[in-house]
A and B are shown apart, each in its own frame.
Chain A
Amino acid sequence: MSREGIVDPAVLFIYGLVLTLVLFVDRDALSLALIGVPNAFVGFALGWRKYKVLIVLFFIGFVGLAINALLLTNVGPAVLVVGPLIVRAGAVNTFVTIGLRITGIAGVAFLFVSLVDPALTVRSLERELRLPKGVCFALAYALRLIDLMSKDLREVQGVRVLRGYRSVPITPSDIKSVLTPLLSVGYERALWVGIAAELRGFRLRKVRKEPLRIGWREAMVLILLALQIIIALAGMLGYLRLIVPYIPFTSSWFIGLFGVF
């Protein structure tokens, strides 16, 4: 008996890796939105059941992004005045661009971790993509660690409630006291899993090479990837606004929205 994933993990890995790089280099808000928002929508929807807490923590992180944007790039014309706080175009621009970028990257990451099986991933990446076995094993174990850490987090939260602490961390000290046991258990797991893997012959593992499996699902994923690369290129070269002239989706659109408020 064996299990097959929905899409070949190697193809999903290529999709995730290339899109992450594209989102990193893209600086155009419109193309970032066109790529990031659909991926985030699908990724968060697929990951919601298993990674609810991580997704909520991700959105809490936007508070930090807003503070950073206000502290470091609050320049240009004022778009919003709240008491002593003047929000300027630079801060809004930074918040929108970086927000869309990290949302897209997180979406792609959740899409990948929700659709692949760690055991199939290790085989697929080393056999089809010829990645070093150490890298594949580390990646596959990291995927598994997400589930394990979710379980650890639930246990830690339970005991915290009994001990009279908030189960959801808010302050830096809360976050530290939740993260410390998680990282401690995670570190021990990583250490002992490495030892166990070596004792079970990981260094002797011979990799059988196989061609990349491209079925219709994989082909669809690669076509989608190509389309998104074209959108990003068009955005970065300024063609996107010529192709889509009637969508005023830029940072100034957000600035205008702030202005209305």
Chain B
Amino acid sequence: MIEEHGDASLEAYVEEASYPSKRGAVKNSFFSASAGELTLIAGPSGSGKTTLLLAITGVLKHLLQGNVKGRVNLAGIDPLTEEGFNEVPRIVGAVMQDPDKQLAMPTPYDEVSFTLENLGVSDEGRVWSVLKEYGLEEHAFKPVEHLSGGQQRRLVIAAALAHDPDIVVLDEPTASLDPWGIKLLKENITRLLRRGKTVVVVEHKVRYFLNMTSRAYVIKDGVITAEYRRDKLLSGDTLRELLMTGIDALPPEAHVRDVRSREGGDEVAVSLNNLTCGYGDVVVLEDVSMELRAGEVGVLVGPNGSGKTTLLKCIAGLLEPVDGYVRVMGEDPRRAGVRPRGRLVFYVPQIPDYTFVSSSVEGELKEVSKKAGVAFGDLVDIAPWVKEALQRPPYRLSHGQRRWLALSVGVAYMPKALLLDEPTTGLDLRFMGELRRLLTKAIRAGTAVLIATHDPRLVAEVADRAFIVDCKRVREVSVIDALKYLEKPLHES
């Protein structure tokens, strides 16, 4: 039963909210949030979480020309009116999903200044204190393209909250953040709550926030279907209900129990020998030696910006080693005789769109079929939604579907080594299941899989071996230790 709350600083009843091209993305949904409280809106991918946020901030109606019916009260203003929408930036700090796509300025310093200048604050001291608060002081004048995904995430949050708004709205704030970043985020949220701010977090990985949440709403198929108060939120029944909806509510300990490492084959698929890699004069990793056998899954864990992506690119032959060498099935990937090179080693980047070469899903699968020698029919049958999406451009699929398609392209090449960069960013439990299924297929075909990730779910469920990447070095640890490494910062006070 969903109740109205008299003391709320944010109240929204969305009768209907939709994009111009689509009807009824969110309907008949009520939620409220109070000052000094964290309100969680949880739901699986595609459930309408982001649409709801865009609706209540007035963006959907005023900037995207969408249709929004209902009533919204943001600390006394109605963002659905033109005058109210003009006032939204003063009282709301909103952070949308993809940090890489929200950064307007070339450096972190400029990004934070931009918000303050817009609102008439020219205070250099304030810019520095915000950068310091989010651990970005050292990177103030670094080009934002050179920041890691997690650093970019911290930056968009810092820029959105620089003017100290009363209401803070965060859309999937933990996506691509390392555990230290999540810890910093939680500390910042705690500080905001102590100062009486209203914080709304939209997430499908709710476990990070359960112990600080006062109220949680579940949204499914565009409708808020349930509300949980703090006292019931941590009960076993509630967690089970959330899991059934596709929301990741498992406590960290649950992942540790799941660990089942397997032995790989005898054949060494990937071998690195005293590898040093970097960009130009900047050495990112040095003296890395490791091996991965055919059919094994290795995970690279480490802080944002520690060099995980650089290592994967070096193994894929996309970056020339500064020193040492890489061998995949005994061959140097940069000079491999295997054509296409993807049959030897395939790297799936963090942004799935980079992988696509065709303007329709059908065209994409036909190209894969031609180059990788896989029957087109087999590719179409791989997931139930593919047939319906054949005529759509891959770039217009949902985030989860795009990620899945990019991964399927990689698996279809049946490479000897498959390298995945943060494959679970933004994926809910359903797509996690699809990802596991694809990985199982690759492993059965004898592919060695190396994954750069911060996601304990993935480490626990698929890793056979784990490597910590930190301080320019790579060291092997047990999978349990890798999980502890990922969870430790979250438990530190």
Which A residues contact B (CB, under 8 angstroms)? 1-3, 117-119, 123, 137, 140-141, 144, 147-148, 151-152, 155-156, 158-165, 176-177, 180-181, 184-185, 188-189, 191-206
Pick the interface stretch among B37-45, B95-103, B188-196, B288-296: B95-103
A-side contacts of B145, CB under 8 Å: 147-148, 151
8 contacts between A and B (CB under 8 A): A156-B354, A163-B340, A163-B413, A180-B395, A181-B354, A188-B395, A201-B90, A202-B89
A-side contacts of B339, CB under 8 Å: 164
Mark interface residues in B109-147 (1 if CB within 8 Å of A CB, else 0). Answer: 110011101111000100000000000000011010100
In the complex, A162 Cα to B345 Cα: how many Å?
A: 8
Are A185 and B347 in contact, CB atoms less than 8 angstroms apart? Answer: no
Are B355 and A141 in contact, CB atoms less than 8 angstroms apart? Answer: no
B59 in the interface (beta carbon within 8 A): yes
B265 in the interface (beta carbon within 8 A): no
Q: A119-B105, A199-B88, A204-B118 are in contact. Are A184 and B98 (CB under 8 A)?
A: no
Smallest Cβ-Cβ distance to A162: which chain B residue? B342
Which B residues contact A (CB, under 8 angstroms)? 54, 57, 59, 63-64, 86, 88-90, 92, 94, 96, 98, 100-107, 109-110, 113-115, 117-120, 124, 140-141, 143, 145, 156, 159-160, 163, 313, 316, 318, 339-342, 345-347, 349, 351, 353-359, 367, 371, 393, 395, 409, 413
Residue from the list A137, A148, A180 in contact with B359, Cβ < 8 A: A180
In the complex, A164 Cα to B372 Cα: how many Å?
A: 9
Are B89 and A199 in contact, CB atoms less than 8 angstroms apart? Answer: yes
In the complex, A43 Cα to B80 Cα: how many Å?
A: 48
Are A119 and B89 in contact, CB atoms less than 8 angstroms apart? Answer: no
Are B349 and A155 in contact, CB atoms less than 8 angstroms apart? Answer: yes
Residue from the list B120, B143, B358 in contact with A177, Cβ < 8 A: B358
In the complex, A176 Cα to B393 Cα: how many Å?
A: 13
Least CB distance, B99 to chain A, in whole angstroms: 10
B-side contacts of A203, CB under 8 Å: 86, 89
Residue from the list B107, B159, B349 in contact with A159, Cβ < 8 A: B349
In the complex, A163 Cα to B98 Cα: how many Å?
A: 26
In the complex, A176 Cα to B107 Cα: how many Å?
A: 31
In the complex, A165 Cα to B409 Cα: how many Å?
A: 14
Are A199 and B57 in contact, CB atoms less than 8 angstroms apart? Answer: yes
In the complex, A164 Cα to B115 Cα: how many Å?
A: 44
Majority-rule SS of A interface residues: helix
Q: A164-B371, A192-B96 are in contact. List 15 more A-B contacts (CB 8 A).
A: A119-B113, A144-B104, A158-B316, A162-B318, A162-B341, A162-B347, A164-B340, A165-B357, A184-B393, A193-B103, A197-B104, A197-B118, A201-B119, A203-B89, A204-B119
Least CB distance, B26 to chain A, in whole angstroms: 17
In the complex, A163 Cα to B110 Cα: how many Å?
A: 38
Are A204 and B86 in contact, CB atoms less than 8 angstroms apart? Answer: yes
In the complex, A164 Cα to B104 Cα: how many Å?
A: 34
Least CB distance, B228 to chain A, in whole angstroms: 28
In the complex, A80 Cα to B356 Cα: how many Å?
A: 45
Are A164 and B106 in contact, CB atoms less than 8 angstroms apart? Answer: no
B-side contacts of A198, CB under 8 Å: 59, 63, 89
Q: A180-B359, A192-B98, A192-B101 are in contact. Are A152 and B354 (CB under 8 A)?
A: yes
Closest 4 CB pairs of A and B: A164-B340, A201-B89, A119-B110, A201-B118
Q: A156-B354, A159-B347, A201-B89 are in contact. Are A193 and B63 (CB under 8 A)?
A: no
Residue from the list B57, B110, B115, B341 in contact with A201, Cβ < 8 A: B115
Q: A147-B145, A199-B94, A200-B160 are in contact. Are A185 and B103 (CB under 8 A)?
A: no
B-side contacts of A165, CB under 8 Å: 340, 357
Q: A118-B106, A199-B89 are in contact. Are A158 and B318 (CB under 8 A)?
A: yes
Are B102 and A192 in contact, CB atoms less than 8 angstroms apart? Answer: yes
B-side contacts of A205, CB under 8 Å: 117-118
Least CB distance, A56 to chain B, in whole angstroms: 20
Least CB distance, B354 to chain A, in whole angstroms: 4
Residue from the list A156, A160, A200 in contact with B115, Cβ < 8 A: A200
Residue from the list A147, A151, A160, A196 in contact with B104, Cβ < 8 A: A196
In the complex, A152 Cα to B349 Cα: how many Å?
A: 11
A-side contacts of B341, CB under 8 Å: 161-162, 164
Residue from the list B124, B395, B413 in contact with A181, Cβ < 8 A: B395
Least CB distance, A5 to chain B, in whole angstroms: 12
B-side contacts of A184, CB under 8 Å: 353, 393, 395
A-side contacts of B101, CB under 8 Å: 188-189, 191-193
